[in-house]
Amino acid sequence: MASFGSKVFLSLGRTNVSGVGFKKTGNRATYATALTVNSSSTNKDLPARGGKGSTGRRPKRGPGEPRTEKMALDQDWTSVYPAATPFRANAVPLPLRMGYPVKRGIPPEKKGNLELIKIPNFLHLTPAAIRKHCEALKPFCTEWPSALDTDAKCDELFPVKIQSTDYVSAGPSIRNPSARVVHMKVKLSSLNLDDHARKKMLKLVGDRYCKDSDILTIKTESCPLRQQNYDYAMYLLTVLYHESWKIEPWEAEKTRADMEEYSWEDSTSQKNILDTLLRINATGEGEEAEVREQLLGREEVLEYKDSVETLKNEEPSESNMLRYKEAVRKVLKV
Amino acid sequence: MLHYTRGQCRKKKKLQGFCFFYYLLNMAAPLVVRRELFSLVKILGGISQLGPRGLGACSNHRKCSQTRFELLQRPNTFFHTAAYLSSTPFTITVTDEPDTLFQKVVVLVKAHDRAVLDSYEFFATMAAKELGITMGKVFEPPKDIERLTLLKSVHIYKKHRVQYEMRTHYRSIELLHVTGCTAQVYLEYIQRNLPEGVAMEVTKTAMEKIPDHILEPMWKDHPIDDKSSK
């Protein structure tokens, strides 16, 4: 079909040139050049071939020897494959074979091998090419400040960590909606908080705080752009900080049940132990208040206080229970 | 106290004039030019999500697109010669804007073929070494296999099924202590040479100082009447 089309085209060309007063002068020029080349070639070849009639084609040149034969051993490979291009069997001087072998055979050769063309090749990224690229890219890089060589120094000077993700993939769209998520991590010890402010901050923040690592994580994904999410995270941090320093009038109504830690002073445990000791030493020496204060000052009572506090605040373990047992025995002199 | 001055040590480098990457990787036919054009748009489109605070890539993108078309009109006959490269000047301006500091940059690449990821890992690690970036862990997370069981026939024959699976292999490269400029250069280089069929996720952990408005509580200077000042 194509050959017939080309024959028709050439005949058209010839008639156009021969015809007088043809309108398309531009076309005439292009047809003329095509015609002259074709006529000269056909004139030469007609006697040799003597076949195909008046519409003889130019003889097809053979493929010639592959480029690999002409490649020197010390050639510059980066100029053979300067950018990512599909595999060309006659430009790669390696005896490659790829594919599943037929029975009792070997994998097919590289000439005309579709498997080698399909797979992405890294021929344009040889070590020499990478070195060249990096040499050229070096002027655009900056050095890391030498004073911040350890993680500890980084955390001390730059405690706020902003984490964000970029996505690169092929598809109908280059956008990825997950790219707008921002995680902001701060260590509470690096913020200027006093005792009350820290406790209030922990109550405000809830699950976002990790006790073991003392890191507050704020994850923002409600805004459509990453910049907006970052600004919102900073705004949240600011608000949390300032609100935790505020003391509201209703905070005075904090009861024992709201306390984060167990404190032994004015607790039922203190009352119980003092009552027990008073009953044991019921000689009635002085006023009860004075006797209680004396008892509080005693070593065993203090030890008992420590053991009860560790039991309540930390997780109960064997050592804690043993300590409590010893303290009780000492206090009650058993 | 550590002597650390913001302006001197961390200065951003902005590329003005021609887009240098275009030269490096596009020394072949204009067909390749079009592909790199598209990939640049792809990458910068992703980065432009940063908004006005961006790394200066957005403004450069506009400049780059103008100059790219100028290049196409130039004759391609002596692309490979050194004369072509040296005749086109590119200037690096150093601004006083402080550079972002990334404590960690984790690059996770996903592909269906393990061999491609092996080669890519070699390329990425070598590039990082040449550019002088300290590398953390380079490891291979376990692959994911997603399997589907479908009916073999169009109609009935429920007992005969066919099973397909999609394997996703991963590779993770961790970079430590990278500046913003270096990260931008390295990531753009890596992403331009990402092979077809490979996806990438880059997680950056930037470090920042505590903002000035959080250093002291504002109630100190302006105590409110019904609240005790602290």
Domain assignment of residue A48, yes or no: no
Name the A residues in 152-181 with CB < 8 Å from any B CB. Answer: 153-154, 157-170, 174-176, 179-180
Is there a single domain that holds both residue A118 and residue A201?
Answer: no
Is there a single domain that holds both residue A132 and residue A85?
Answer: yes
CA–CA separation, A328 and A334 (whole Å): 8
**Which of residues A228, A253, A278 is at a domain's end?**
A253
Is there a single domain that holds both residue A276 and residue A328?
Answer: yes
A97: Cβ–Cβ under 8 A, 6 or more apart, which residues? A106, A107, A108, A109, A110
Closest chain A C-alpha to B196 CA, distance in angstroms? 7
Hey, is the C-beta of A225 within 8 angstroms of any chain B C-beta?
yes
Cβ distance of A176 and B181 shorter than 8 Å: no
Question: Does the pLDDT value for residue B201 go beyond 50?
Answer: yes
Q: Render pLDDT for A115-147 as a digit per residue (tens, 0 to 9).
A: 999 999 999 999 999 999 999 999 999 989 888
Question: Does the pLDDT value for residue A26 go beyond 60?
Answer: no
Counted domains in chain A? 3
Domain assignment of residue A27, yes or no: no
Strands A209-210, B161-179: parallel, antiparallel or unpaired by DSSP? Answer: unpaired
Closest chain A C-alpha to B67 CA, distance in angstroms? 19
Cβ distance of A238 and B211 shorter than 8 Å: yes
C-beta of residue A272 within 8 angstroms of C-beta of residue A304: no
Domain assignment of residue A212, yes or no: yes
Is there a single domain that holds both residue A132 and residue A161?
Answer: no
- Which residues in A lie closer than 8 A to residue B197 (C-beta atoms)? 120, 170
Is there a single domain that holds both residue A114 and residue A200?
Answer: no
User: CB burial class (10 A; 0-12, 13-18, 19+) of residue A55?
Assistant: middle
Is there a single domain that holds both residue A127 and residue A213?
Answer: no
Domain assignment of residue A205, yes or no: yes
Domain assignment of residue A127, yes or no: yes
| pTM score, whole prediction | 0.68
Domain assignment of residue A271, yes or no: yes
Range of the structural domain that residue A299 is part of: 262-332
Q: How many CB atoms lie within 10 A of CB A317?
A: 11
Domain assignment of residue A41, yes or no: no
Q: Render pLDDT for B24-57 as a digit per residue (tens, 0 to 9).
A: 444 433 433 344 433 443 443 334 343 334 333 3
Domain assignment of residue A232, yes or no: yes
The one-letter amino acid at A142: T
Element (H, E) at B180: helix B180-192
CA–CA separation, B142 and A177 (whole Å): 25
pLDDT at res. A135: 93
Q: What is the ipTM of this complex?
A: 0.71
Most confident of A245-259, B47-61, B156-170, B192-206: B156-170
Average pLDDT over residues A242-248: 88
Residues B101-210: name the CATH superfamily. Answer: Ribosomal protein S10 (3.30.70.600)
Least CB–CB distance from A192: residue in B13, B51, B216? B216
Domain spans of chain B, in order of start: 101-210
Lowest mean pLDDT among B85-94, B98-107, B207-216: B85-94
Is there a single domain that holds both residue A323 and residue A306?
Answer: yes
Is there a single domain that holds both residue A192 and residue A98?
Answer: no
Closest chain B C-alpha to A91 CA, distance in angstroms? 15
